[in-house]
Amino acid sequence: MRRKTAFSVLAAAAILSAGMPLVTVNAGTPPNAPEQVGIPKFFLSLQDIPLMPGLEELPAETLSFDKPEGRIIETIALMDARLQRGQVLSYYRTALPQFGWGKSGENSFYRKDESLEISFDKRESGNIVKFMIRPLL
């Protein structure tokens, strides 16, 4: 256990010294998944929002509009069956501040002139997470 912790600390220090954002993905990984520290994947449609391990973006279901007031984007990700809502929220509460997002509510964040809302829904294919970015009013 001490070796794993020491390795995590060393890996985090290496990432920080390289000027890369640090995202610890074990905050929301499914049970029995290996712990990882590293550079996250990002949504195709939300290139500045990390894609949590265990989420699969559904690009065909993305809606995107550019308006004079700012962008409006809704994208959907399918949750791995082992993931729970609390794990997803915990991951994004930890990860998003590292990308300049502040928490404004239970499932909502803000950055500059934009808001981000995270919501959950069920489908026949499984549980989904919706990410909605829109201009602050």
The per-residue pLDDT for range 49-72, each reduced to its tens digit, is: 999 999 999 999 999 999 898 999
The model's pLDDT over 1-26, given as tens digits with 9 standing for 90+, comes to 444 444 444 344 444 444 434 444 44
The pLDDT value recorded for residue 134 is: 97
Sorted by sequence, the CB contacts under 8 Å of residue 88 that are 6+ apart come out as 28, 52, 55, 79, 118, 120, 129
Nearest to 37 by CA among 58, 16, 55: 16
Question: What is the pLDDT averaged over residues 38-57?
Answer: 90
Question: What is the pLDDT averaged over residues 75-104?
Answer: 96
The pLDDT value recorded for residue 108 is: 97
Q: Between 23 and 110, name the one with better pLDDT.
A: 110
- Give kind and range of the element (H or E) at residue 15: helix 2-17
d(CA 99, CA 131) in angstroms, rounded, equals: 15
Q: What are the beta bridge partners of residue 114? A: 111, 135
pTM: 0.70
pLDDT at residue 121 is higher than 90: yes
Band (pLDDT 50/70/90 cuts) for residue 37 is: low
